[in-house]
Structure 1
Amino acid sequence: MTTAPGSDRAWTDPTCPVARTVDLVGDRWSLLIVRDAMDGPASFTEFRQRLGIARNILADRLRRLVEDGILTTSATASGKRHVYELTGAGQDLFTTIVALRQWGERHAFTDDEPRSTLVDHDGRPLAALHPRSRSGALVTAETTDVRRVD
């Protein structure tokens, strides 16, 4: 990892948006915490019960997600505990979570294997995500290029 100029954070590849995103949320627990936070505010205990994650790992991931501006924390009305919820940056990960889900539906399950389904509020499954150019044309890895920083 290298350190980004003007920052004390070590980035795997400082000029690559994919690498920076993976540095921030790329481990399995962080992504699952973000996924569960999309259901609404949750306490430490709720995350722990849903995920079956060790306390120390959960505490570390929650701390990092708050420090990186993906989650925010606030006290409950009683003031006895805190809840975590997505910031705008965390909510922007929705498309990423849907893309991972759809990839998993296509490649990580057999046809007859049971799986959860993401549906809209009318109960309809979401359309498959496909990247498009600004003009609306479908794009793929073969029809795009990365402009690297010199």
Structure 2
Amino acid sequence: MTPEEAVEETLCPIARALSVACDRGTLLIMRELSMGSHRFDDLQAQTGLSPTLLSARLKRLEETGIIERRIYSSKPQRYEYHATDKGMDLDAVLVMLRAWGMKWTPYEEGQGPAVDLKDRETGQNVNHDTPITAGFRLGDCDAAISPEFANERALRRVKFQQGRRTKPS
């Protein structure tokens, strides 16, 4: 039995959840899906994962029912990736990690959060001190990406595209 299989068989819900959904790559993939990135190249550019690691993470997330593939091109066959209801239930985890990061990894003077979130129902900003319930969904928020984070993401995409063009065939 592998260590991962042993963890999946434990009664501890924290260990079980961690074995399925909580490594850096997986959480970054889920962040990207919530931000509207659904194609492999976009996911790779924004997460920085190698194609092999990204493929493995996507396959595992699909096998566990956290994401689903949807075909967007038949020739060549290409897929987009979307969070399922099970996957969207990780939104609360992502926002709680965001809150922890906002509180304990402070911004430099003059910087703000990468993304401002506002709960559509209450009109309140979602900040480091906002109570998050298990049913929280990012889809229930309006999100405004900061110009600095938009620029960071654009630069990441350009570097990714440049790296693909400079690799030998």
TM, length-normalised to structure 2: 0.64
Superposed CA offset, 1:54-95 (max 9, x none): 111111111111111101001015553100000010001111
RMSD (Å) for aligned C-alpha atoms? 2.9
Q: Which has the higher contact order (CA 8 A, sep 6+)?
A: 2
Q: Is the 8 A contact 2:69 2:79 kept in 1?
A: yes
Aligned residues: 128
What's 2:48 paired with? 52
**Cα distance in 2 for residues equivalent to 1:12 and 1:67:** 14
Q: Work out whether 1:98 is the aligned partner of 2:95.
A: yes
Runs of 4+ in 1 over 4 A off after TM superposition: 121-124
Select which of 13, 18, 24 maps to 1:17. 13
Q: Is the 8 A contact 1:71 1:85 kept in 2?
A: yes
TM, length-normalised to structure 1: 0.72
Q: Work out whether 1:67 is the aligned partner of 2:68.
A: no
Q: Is the 8 A contact 1:118 1:125 kept in 2?
A: yes
Runs (5+) with no aligned partner, structure 2: 134-169
| 1:31-50 superposed matches below 5 A | 31-40=27-36, 42-50=38-46
| 1:73-92 superposed matches below 5 A | 73-76=69-72, 78=74, 80=76, 81-92=78-89
**Cα distance in 2 for residues equivalent to 1:55 and 1:77:** 19
Moved more, 93-102 or 114-123: 114-123
What's 1:126 paired with? 126
User: Aligned with 2:81: secondary structure?
Assistant: strand
Which structure is higher in helix share?
Answer: 2
Overall identity of the aligned pairs, in %:
29
Runs (5+) with no aligned partner, structure 1: 133-150
